[in-house]
Structure 1
Amino acid sequence: MNRKVILTCAVTGAGDTANKSEHVPVTPREIADDAIAAARAGASVVHIHVRDLDTKQGSREVAHYREVVRLIRASDVDPVINLTAGMGGDLVVDPQDPTTHMPGTDLVNALERLPHVEELLPEICTLDCGSLNFGDGSDIYVSTPDMLREGSKKIQTLGVRPELEIFDTGNLWFANVLVEEGLIDPPPLYQLCMGVPYGAPVDAGLLTAMVNMLPTGAQFTSFAIGRNQLPWVAQSVLAGGHARVGLEDNLYLAKGIKATNASLTERAVDIIGGLGAEVATPDEARQILDLRMQTPIVTGNDL
């Protein structure tokens, strides 16, 4: 069991959730405000996506990331900032003609997924460690070994800690290869993602098997989506890891009760405390993960 738990709040994600709950933040101001509220509620880390202001869907707009980061850094809290670098891997194919890309496709190379990371130098950014059939239908997330090696080298050069997003055991196998090849600086940070169709199912035995595959000295977080999110906080901590909650992965605090990022964070803090552990402060998280403090100049106006 882990007694000092880094708690991440993933505040909005890129899924089609903004029309399902009024609490899902969309604008840079809303996203920053939710991140700040989660940090005040006890989150050690805030994980940031941004959204298109018109469609409310996920976006790669650097100006939106710039504004969110500016607002968080100007606030009265100092959470570790974790920016997604997974946008740009979405491929939707026509099942009758797979050479045809359908609406919803947003596919760019490894370096084109990183301009906001290069400019803003967050302490952490994500690295999705493999391709995946993403849900029912014809959506595929594309992240090939060649792309991952190129992205890892760039992130390493920037001095940013990659969070290795693991959606299945093959992803974990290749992430370990990146570590062995020296493309990931120690300590490697893994995020074991459970319940995302069609990756690793929500199964405690599978979590144990994946934890047993981690290299010596690795740090890991695990989360589960939907109604499994809050119970999985305890599961991850008992397995020796850290925890993640937030509206990216779950919209409800209980059956019929819509959550906010702050309320999910508060509930996770209570769960962790009930296990006899405590949530790491942002500075303790920085120490545990050996994060490099960098201070780029972030300018801009509220959007």
Structure 2
Amino acid sequence: MAGKTIITCAVTGNLTTREQHPGLPATPEEIAGACLEAAEAGAAIAHIHVRDPVTAKPSMEISLYEKVVALIREKNTELILNLTTGPGGRFVPSDDDPAVAGPGTTIRPPEKRVEHIARIKPEICTLDFNTMNSGAQVVINTPRNVRIMAEIISDSGVKPELELFDTGDIVMASDFLKAGHLAGPAMCSLVTGVKYGLPSTPDAMAVASRMLPLDAQWTGFGIGRWAFPMLVQSWLLGGHVRIGMEDTVYIGKGQLTAGNAELTARAKDLIEKLGGEIAGPGEARRLLGIKD
């Protein structure tokens, strides 16, 4: 890859559970601590979801986002913060009537899904373009709702990271850019390994990366056992990289990771051994067009 490589650490995510890894960050203190440790290990960006501090289940509470951000900023003002807007788009049809939402549905108005972005104004937030099956559930991001979210994100002065799970998502994002719903150059994330989306293969990532706007800054990643192979594949194709306990809880085959810092350090080591250089937060800001 020409130029330096940005490492994003996705520290906890929405789907990873404490059953999969007992050390999964869940409280604001744990999540903030994981972000700070990842930054020390080489991450320029921390991608943040929040969890209920008692149950460790996913949460959309704005106060939890505010606390995590405040705890990070008390100790590190350089790390780029990327808050998720993914929660609030899941639909589970009831057994009796598939037109009626059943247990597990999280569908929220688009304004609610970005309410924390308008209030906190992080440097980056995600913007999901996928409508797809996800296990027995469906993730729904209609063009109307994505457009509303994009407008609020833009009005807040926040840079959206376009989350792309399949080739149709890339086409939709390209249409948004052409129509002026999004300002370029785009920051994109190619998500592989989610069943019924892009598979974690070199061919799939290569095809997807070639479909992106030529001026886009992009990151590719895989989940589960493909997290590190697809991290390297992204770098080989000219992309940035992402790792973290949202994507994998293993540092090696059958070996649970000690945490996000260890995963980040491994990513940094792999890229440097391949001849790459890692971008610090200031360099990442310049690459992504984010003001200091």
Asked if these proteins are the same fold (TM beyond 0.5), I'd say: yes
Secondary structure of 1:98's match?
A: coil
Secondary structure of 1:126's match?
A: strand
On the 8 A contact 1:82/1:126 being kept in 2, the answer is yes
Letter in 2 for 1:180: K
Secondary structure of 1:149's match?
A: helix
On the 8 A contact 1:13/1:247 being kept in 2, the answer is yes
Determine whether 1:109 maps to 2:121: no
Secondary structure of 1:140's match?
A: strand
Instruction: State the match for 1:82 in structure 2.
Output: 82
User: Deviation of residue 96 (structure 1)?
Assistant: 5.0
Instruction: State the match for 2:275 in structure 1.
Output: 276
Secondary structure of 1:190's match?
A: strand
* CA deviation profile, 1:270-291 (whole Å, cap 9, x unmatched): 0110111111000100000001
What does 1:130-209 correspond to in 2, within 5 Å? Answer: 130-135=130-135, 137=136, 139-209=137-207
* CA deviation profile, 1:162-217 (whole Å, cap 9, x unmatched): 00000111111101111111222222011000001221111211111111111121
On the 8 A contact 1:192/1:223 being kept in 2, the answer is yes
Letter in 2 for 1:225: I
Instruction: State the match for 1:211 in structure 2.
Output: 209
* CA deviation profile, 1:88-107 (whole Å, cap 9, x unmatched): 11111125521232221111
User: Deviation of residue 70 (structure 1)?
Assistant: 0.3
Q: Give the structure-1-normalised TM-score.
A: 0.93
Identity of aligned residues (%): 42
RMSD: 1.2
Question: Where does the alignment leave 5 or more consecutive residues of structure 2 unmatched?
Answer: none
* CA deviation profile, 1:42-76 (whole Å, cap 9, x unmatched): 00100000011233111100000000000111114
What does 1:94-105 correspond to in 2, within 5 Å? Answer: 94-105=94-105
Letter in 2 for 1:273: E
On the 8 A contact 2:44/2:80 being kept in 1, the answer is yes
User: Deviation of residue 153 (structure 1)?
Assistant: 1.2
TM superposition outliers: structure 1 runs of 4+ over 3 Å: none
User: Deviation of residue 17 (structure 1)?
Assistant: 1.5
Instruction: State the match for 1:44 in structure 2.
Output: 44
Count of residue correspondences: 291
On the 8 A contact 2:95/2:102 being kept in 1, the answer is no
Q: Find 1:258's aligned residue among 247, 253, 256.
A: 256
Secondary structure of 2:93's match?
A: strand
* CA deviation profile, 1:232-269 (whole Å, cap 9, x unmatched): 11100110100000000100000121111000000000
On the 8 A contact 1:220/1:242 being kept in 2, the answer is yes
Measure, in 1, the Cα distance between the counterparts of 2:76 and 2:146. Answer: 36
Measure, in 2, the Cα distance between the counterparts of 1:254 and 1:113. Answer: 35
Instruction: State the match for 2:128 in structure 1.
Output: 128
Instruction: State the match for 1:297 in structure 2.
Output: none
Q: Give the structure-2-normalised TM-score.
A: 0.97
Instruction: State the match for 2:236 in structure 1.
Output: 238
Measure, in 2, the Cα distance between the counterparts of 1:109 and 1:143. Answer: 11
Secondary structure of 1:94's match?
A: coil
